[in-house]
Amino acid sequence: MASTGFAMSKKIQGSVFVQIGVGASLLLALSGCSGSDTGSPGSSGGNSSTGIGGSGGIAGTPTGGAPGVGGNGAGGGNNTGGVVATGGTTPAGGSPGLGGAPNTGGSANTGGSKSTGGTIGVGGTASTGGSPPTGGAVSTGGSKSVGGTTGTGGTKATGGTVSTGGSKSVGGTTGTGGTKATGGTVSTGGSQANGGSGGSTSPDPTSTISNWMNTCLPYGNPTGTTRTQIIQAIIDACNEFGPPPSLNPGWQMQYCWAHLLGAILKESSYNVTSINEAGTDPTVGLTQIRFSSTVCDFYTGGPLASLQAMGCQFPADFAAHASESCSSTFWKTTGGDAAHTAWMETPSCNVGLGAWYYYTYATDAGTTDPNVVPPTHYLYDFCHGAPVGADLATGLLSHLRGPSGQWASIPNLSSVPSVGTDYVTAIKTVMDCALGTVSGTHPLFIKLTPNPTQYCK
């Protein structure tokens, strides 16, 4: 580690760094400018149209028989054999020998019902032809009590979709349909609110961030390979540098995703090659990092392996300058070189470095070291001193303007200093769109715990 310490500000050109010795610490303020804003059955018997005359037989004729044989009460009655399609037609149920006799084709008990040929009591009784107990009743044909119970149809693997067996009250209980392994995806049974004992407390990151981009980015929505790279960079950056929920009550991983979604829009409008303050030390890329501050500070004092884990490999010429002050010629004047600019534009490197800077200072409001007055933190103080927790709003202001005691504690939006109101509000707007209504403290103002081992070399 450089013996001179280092100052942190992606926005500050000409950063001045702190010499930390055994006896005392010198703290220098940072200043600079912000980055870019950027049938029906009808007559079923044989009444007027079907069972009279040619259907059930006119009394005294050879076809339908005498009134007592093939009359309306026998083969052509409304309730027996006079259905047009079954026993009441002339060839089948209307002749005296076939369907007209009371006990043959047109009797009440054999061929006249709609469903089987008989009356309701024979062919369509509850016990045989579709009554509730046998042919589709609640207990046998797929009702909640049989096909959708927790034990049989409620798990995701066997039929427990939300609409059939996976409802919260039937198949979506914590023990059966709510675990991640069986049916407890966030959308079906494993949500944080209703019982996902084995499920993740965060939604799927890739699809969630992609949906947020489509919904919450008024412009700059990336496409193709660039979109894929940015989404992955956001996920990886939050895994490496986002505040661990286990150390920060109330914090959730998706808060980090939403923050970076909004920060990239504000800083660069999702233009990977965005450059501001062109020259030897410009601000570059998605989160507008500067070579002499964010890049140098991280390389000389940050956790290199964490950024490498994101797929960001450092240029070979960095190694020879690892012990130099960030005000050295190399760090101060070569950030505008084509090779260094191209490296800073890489989504994994840029978003990773931006996230590291945001959350280093989101977890650092100052120091209790009596030799550091005011309690403004630079990286060396944070890594080797006694840091005090802050919040994400403090990290936003530090990224924009550099660390300062003016924003060491920002409990709400109205407390944001005027120099950062537009910046913080713009990012908050995107976060609110992505996250919806958040109960309790807004993610920007949740108190975050210092964690130097996560952010320091």
Over residues 373-419, the pLDDT tens digits come to: 455 567 887 888 778 889 999 999 999 998 877 777 788 999 999 99
- pLDDT-based confidence at 357, cuts 50/70/90? very high
Q: In terms of domains, do 389 and 263 share one?
A: yes
| Within a domain: 155 | no
pLDDT (tens digit per residue) in 156-209: 333 333 333 333 333 333 333 333 333 333 333 333 333 333 344 568 999 999
Same domain, 109 and 208: no
Q: What is the pLDDT of residue 371?
A: 56
Confidence class for position 424, pLDDT limits 50, 70, 90: very high
Let me know if residue 339 belongs to a domain. yes
Q: Is residue 227 a part of any domain in this protein?
A: yes
When pLDDT is averaged across residues 255-271 and rounded to a whole number, the result is: 98
pLDDT at 62 over 70: no
> Up-side HSE of residue 236: CA atoms within 13 Å toward CB?
22
What is the structure's pLDDT at 370? Answer: 54
- Is residue 392 domain-shared with residue 275, that is, in the same domain? yes
- Confidence band for 249, pLDDT divided at 50, 70 and 90: very high
Residues 187, 244, single domain; the answer is no
pLDDT for the residue numbered 379: 82
Predicted pLDDT at 111: 40
Neighbours of 196 (CB within 10 A): 23
* Together in a domain, 171 and 250: no
Query: Would you state the pLDDT for residue 353?
Result: 98
**Could you tell me the residue range of the domain that residue 326 belongs to?**
1-38+202-457
Q: What is the mean pLDDT of residues 224-231?
A: 98
What is the token pair recorded at 437? Answer: 């209504």
Six-digit token string for 418: 């005027």
Are residues 56 and 18 located together in one domain of the fold?
no
Domain stops at, among 113, 129, 148: 113
Query: pLDDT: is 208 or 81 the higher one?
Result: 208
Query: Sheet harboring 283-284: ordered strands across?
Result: 275-276, 283-284, 289-290
Query: For the segment 132-156, what is each residue's pLDDT rounded down to a tens digit?
Result: 333 333 333 333 333 333 333 333 3
Question: How confident is residue 366, by pLDDT bands cut at 50, 70 and 90?
Answer: low
The segment with the largest mean pLDDT, out of 82-86, 97-101, 167-171, 279-283, is 279-283
Task: Say if residue 178 is in the same domain as residue 218.
Answer: no
Rounded to 5°, angle at Cα 275 from 272 and 278: 160
* The pLDDT of residue 139: 35
Number of domains comprising the chain: 3
pLDDT recorded at residue 367: 54
Q: How distant is the alpha carbon of residue 49 from its chain centre?
A: 64
Q: For residue 291, which of 307, 304, 275, 267 has the smallest C-alpha distance?
A: 275
- Are residue 240 and residue 389 in the same domain, yes or no? yes
3-class SS of residue 20: strand
| pLDDT tens per residue across span 17-55 | 323 332 333 222 323 333 333 333 333 333 333 333 333
φ/ψ region of 5 (left if φ > 0, alpha if ψ in -120 to 50, else beta) reads: left
Helix (H) or strand (E) run with residue 290 in it: strand 289-290
Q: Measured between alpha carbons, how far is 114 from 133 in angstroms, rounded to an integer? A: 20
Residue 67 lies in a domain: yes
d(CA 201, CA 186): 8
**Strand, helix or coil at 330?**
helix
Does residue 293 carry a pLDDT above 70? yes
pTM recorded for the entire structure: 0.59
User: Which pair of structure tokens corresponds to residue 53?
Assistant: 């005359």
Burial 333-353 (b: 16+ CB within 10 A, else e): ebbbeeebbebbbbbbbbbbb
Among 177, 201, 225, where does a domain finish?
A: 201
- Shared domain for 282 and 349, answered yes or no, is yes
**Residue 147 belongs to a domain:** no
Comparing 21-25, 284-288, 353-357, 385-389, the range with the smallest average pLDDT is: 21-25
Q: pLDDT band at residue 88, thresholds of 50, 70 and 90? A: very low
Q: Which residue has the higher pLDDT, 339 or 90?
A: 339
CA angle 409, 359, 429 (to 5 degrees): 75
d(CA 363, CA 190): 31
In this predicted model, which residue has the larger pLDDT, 58 or 394? 394
Tell whether 194 is covered by a domain: yes
**pLDDT mean across residues, the chain:** 68
Given this model, what pLDDT does residue 382 score? 83
More confident residue, 229 or 112: 229
> Angle at which helices 347-362 and 392-401 pack, to 10 degrees?
120
Q: Between 261 and 126, where is the model more confident?
A: 261
- Measured over the CA atoms of residue 238, residue 241, residue 244 and residue 250, the dihedral's sign is negative
Asked if residue 442 and residue 366 are part of one domain, the reply reads: yes
User: Last residue of a domain, which of 201, 224, 258?
Assistant: 201
Among the ranges given (33-37, 288-292, 349-353, 379-383), the one the predictor scored with the smallest mean pLDDT: 33-37
pLDDT at 402: 85
Within a domain: 123: no
253 shares a domain with 181: no
Residues 7 and 102 placed together within one structural domain of the fold: no
Q: What share of the chain has pLDDT > 90, as a percent?
A: 47
Q: Is residue 143 part of a domain?
A: no
- DSSP of 240-251, one letter per residue? HHSPPTTTSTT-
Task: Pick left, alpha or beta for residue 179 (phi over 0 → left; psi -120 to 50 → alpha; otherwise beta).
Answer: beta
State the alpha helices, DSSP H only, in 149-290. Answer: 205-216, 224-241, 253-268
Q: Could you report how far apart the first and last alpha carbons of the chain are, in Å?
A: 8
